[in-house]
Amino acid sequence: MPRRAAWLVVAALLLGGLAASRGERVEANMPQCAARGALVGYLAQRYGEAPAWAGLSDGGQSMLELLVNPDKGSWSLIGTRAGRQSCLVSAGEGARFIAVPLTGSDS
């Protein structure tokens, strides 16, 4: 997948998630920011989600990760800056995997 197209997919997930996130995913005891391991562990335990995609930006100083439960369709997008906590960016339902060829130019 061309690099620009990959970022469009991430942007669509982010914007779609912000528009479609259901209130039930926002819980009083749900951590919004925590150490990456703690946040990933919480999402795994509570929603059965596991990392499915990761991308680096800012010269490797920032990372976005998409965690998904393919059986239930729940997903969470977390962002992490080097040496800092991870934060929940958005979460929602209805995740599905789409086969996209990884060939082509960076256009």
- The residue ranges of every structural domain in the chain are 3-23+30-92
Model confidence at 11: pLDDT above 70: no
Mean pLDDT throughout 12-25? 47
| Three-class secondary structure assignment of the chain | CCHHHHHHHHHHHHHHHHHHCCHHHCCCCCCCEECHHHHHHHHHHHHCCEEEEEEEEHHHCEEEEEEECCCCCCEEEEEEECCCCEEEEEEECCCCCCCCCCCCCCC
Q: What is the pLDDT of residues 79-95, one digit of tens each?
A: 999 888 999 999 999 98
Q: Which two tokens stand for residue 48?
A: 């059965």
What pLDDT does 27 receive? 58
pLDDT tens readout for residues 21-67? 444 455 556 678 999 999 999 999 999 999 999 999 888 899 999 99
How far is Cα 62 from Cα 16, in angstroms, rounded to an integer? 21
